[in-house]
Amino acid sequence: MSTPDSELSTQENPIGGAQLERIDMGQLKCLRVTTSKAELLVAEQGAQVLSYRLHGEEPLIWLSDQAAFESGQAVRGGVPVCWPWFGDLARNPAQVQALHTGGRLPAHGLVRNLDWLVRGMTITEADEHSGEKESVQLEFSLPPTDASPPLRHLPAGLELRLSIHLGERLQMTLSTRNGSDQTVALTQALHTYFAVGDIHQASIDGLEDRPYIETLEGWSPRRQKGRLHITGETDRIYHDLSGPLVIRDTKWGRRICIEASGSSSAVVWNPWVSKARRLSQFADDAWQHMLCIETANVMDDMVTLAPGEQHSMGVTLWSEAMGA
């Protein structure tokens, strides 16, 4: 059965089974979802998933031990939403840059440290008669562009939503609708920080033979040879992706599977030793236990929307025991 928003108490779902609670983490209002299989924590600021773990297992999504839960500051870890540009605006296609001539132009766009609106929370209980599976659905939207000062330079009527579905797997879908009267070009990412037992024993399948941009060496074009092992600072933009990406984590004996839709590019990032020391909310040795694989629409994979058009980019995550 589904529980409409109004029936959800701020403590827990009185029906039992899956629970949804409102909690504060420092200055941030958060939603904590607990199902029979997993726990998920999401901040209303940035509609940022902060952590995700299956009960009894290591976290799938990494959250920094030094995370600051402060208003106006993106949290280090989880899944920050990068929109309507990814990374440094100056590195984006000319059509994307052309839309942003006023206001602040921070790395990764404008929305990861804004308060989003909670549009819906739905709990579906398992029902063996109907075959319904237990799940929780959260719906967030960005406030209208004219209601939030950092968004006022965007074309009026541009809308952004994030749907988060927690069932057997975690699914996130970022949808943009161009309700403005002009064509809009944007880049974006679901900047997922994955947790790994030991980066030296982790590798990524699914990038073999794919073209990529090596941002650490003059943004030069390269081609991936074989499976990717992370052996130093890594900051790459992969293109022409089609199948799932898989993190093989030998230390924790599991695979994390990442299936994207509406996206053919991904960013792979690990700061390694010296950049780790310069990062905010990041312990000096934290690089050993995280790996970002960011489901994206970047560079030639940017999204162009005529008035009235919409685009959705999604990612589904799950883990499997190695050898299974």
Ligand X SMILES: O=P(O)(O)OC[C@H]1O[C@@H](O)[C@H](O)[C@@H](O)[C@@H]1O
Q: Where in 105-164 is the site for ligand X (CB under 6 A)?
A: 107-108
Query: Do 197 and 251 contact (CB within 8 A), yes or no?
Result: yes
Q: How far apart are CA 273 and CA 14, in angstroms?
A: 47
Query: Do 96 and 186 contact (CB within 8 A), yes or no?
Result: yes
Which of 100, 191, 254, 289 is close enough to bind ligand X by CB under 6 A? Answer: 191
Q: State yes or no: residue 62 binds ligand X (CB under 6 A).
A: no
Q: Where in 217-236 is the site for ligand X (CB under 6 A)?
A: 235
Residue 66 or 250: the one with the smaller Cβ distance to ligand X is 66
Q: State yes or no: residue 267 binds ligand X (CB under 6 A).
A: yes
Residue 13 or 192: the one with the smaller Cβ distance to ligand X is 192
Query: Do 121 and 21 contact (CB within 8 A), yes or no?
Result: no
CB of 106: closest distance to ligand X in angstroms?
Answer: 8
Which residue type occupies 253?
A: G
Residue 319 belongs to what H/E stretch?
A: strand 310-321
Q: How far apart are CA 5 and CA 87, in angstroms?
A: 35
Q: Could you tell me the two tokens for 89? A: 């605006």
Q: What is the CA radius of gyration of the chain?
A: 19
Contacts of 321 (CB under 8 A, 6+ apart): 253, 254, 255
Which residue type occupies 141?
A: S
CB of 119: closest distance to ligand X in angstroms?
Answer: 26
How far is CA 271 from its chain centroid? 18
Q: State yes or no: residue 269 binds ligand X (CB under 6 A).
A: yes
CB of 3: closest distance to ligand X in angstroms?
Answer: 35
Which of 46, 78, 84, 87 is close enough to bind ligand X by CB under 6 A? Answer: 87
Q: State yes or no: residue 91 binds ligand X (CB under 6 A).
A: no
Q: State yes or no: residue 165 binds ligand X (CB under 6 A).
A: no
CB of 277: closest distance to ligand X in angstroms?
Answer: 13
Q: State yes or no: residue 23 binds ligand X (CB under 6 A).
A: no
Q: State yes or no: residue 294 binds ligand X (CB under 6 A).
A: yes
Binding residues for ligand X, how many (CB under 6 A)?
Answer: 9
